[in-house]
Amino acid sequence: MVQGLIAKKIGMSQQFDDAGNVVPVTVLQAGPCTVIQKKTAEKDGYVAVQLGFVEERGVRRPTKPQLGHFKRAGVPVVKKLQEFGCSDPASVKEGDQVLVDIFEVGETIDVVGTSKGKGFAGVVKRHHFAGGDAAHGSMFHRAPGSIGASSYPSRVVKGMRMGGHMGHERVTVRKLKVVGTDKDRNLLIVKGAVPGAKGGYVLVRKAAAVPERAT
């Protein structure tokens, strides 16, 4: 079985659980995805399947290498490709469709996406610095303070928290609960928020086992 698929974020909504509590949910268009290529241990050194997210509007001007790559799977050229693990490669072949029914209600999943870009941000917003006093003469309201010593090491050490580009990073949200699926419309409803803006691509995969920390 393929361990995940490509989805597109539709937006957030809310549902009521059995106790009448409001539960925030995110609606994802999960597929349909088509198997474009199989990766084998003999040829590639690992086992995986390459999926393509099928959309109504494909690539307008595909290149010849793209046409040749997708011709073997018998599908038109798509924009979004991603590899996923597969527990039973023998049961999958090029051209097969992977639908939302690989997930069950109540199952936990991991969602990987690109967070919203916020542009340039200072240290107060980006790293939650407290800033200085707000008095009239402080002149140290939102400044970062010292960024290193002058004599030694005479440079800014790597990893220093400073102002810069905020957001637009790869973010993984783990162990989200599936609260609903709709195979006819390829919809996956998960509890909570997922990274990214509306219309953005996300990767949905079965939850990976994370080792517990020692106490």
Q: Quick one: average pLDDT of 64-79? A: 86
List of domains in the chain: 4-116+171-206 (2.40.30.10), 117-167 (no CATH)
pLDDT greater than 90 at residue 75:
no
Q: Quick one: average pLDDT of 40-62? A: 87
Q: Quick one: average pLDDT of 17-31? A: 90
Please tell me the predicted confidence (pLDDT) of residue 91.
80
Q: Quick one: average pLDDT of 13-27? A: 91
Nearest Cα residue to 7 out of 166, 167, 176? 176
3-state secondary structure of 104: coil
Please tell me the predicted confidence (pLDDT) of residue 31.
79
Q: Is 13 exposed, middle or buried (0-12, 13-18, 19+ CB in 10 A)?
A: exposed
Please tell me the predicted confidence (pLDDT) of residue 87.
79
Q: Quick one: average pLDDT of 52-69? A: 87
Please tell me the predicted confidence (pLDDT) of residue 192.
93
pLDDT greater than 90 at residue 202:
yes
| Pair of tokens at residue 140 | 């140290």
Name the DSSP letter for residue 115: P
Please tell me the predicted confidence (pLDDT) of residue 212.
56
Angle at 73 between CA 79 and CA 56, to 5 degrees: 40
Please tell me the predicted confidence (pLDDT) of residue 215.
52
Angle at 213 between CA 209 and CA 215, to 5 degrees: 150
Residue with tokens 């549902």: 15
Q: Look at 62-66, 70-74, 201-205 and tell me which has the smallest mean pLDDT.
A: 70-74
Alpha carbons 49 and 92: distance in angstroms, whole number: 8
Q: Look at 110-119, 148-157, 164-173, 201-210 and tell me which has the smallest mean pLDDT.
A: 201-210
Q: Is 31 exposed, middle or buried (0-12, 13-18, 19+ CB in 10 A)?
A: buried
pTM: 0.83
Q: Quick one: average pLDDT of 120-136? A: 92
Nearest Cα residue to 55 out of 8, 103, 101? 8
pLDDT category at 72 given cuts 50, 70, 90 is confident
Q: Positive or negative, the Cα torsion across 146, 149, 155, 161? A: negative
Instruction: State the pairing for strand pair 187-191/201-206.
Output: unpaired
Nearest Cα residue to 103 out of 211, 1, 199, 192? 1
Nearest Cα residue to 179 out of 7, 5, 22, 33? 22
| Pair of tokens at residue 202 | 């996300």
Residue with tokens 């050490």: 157
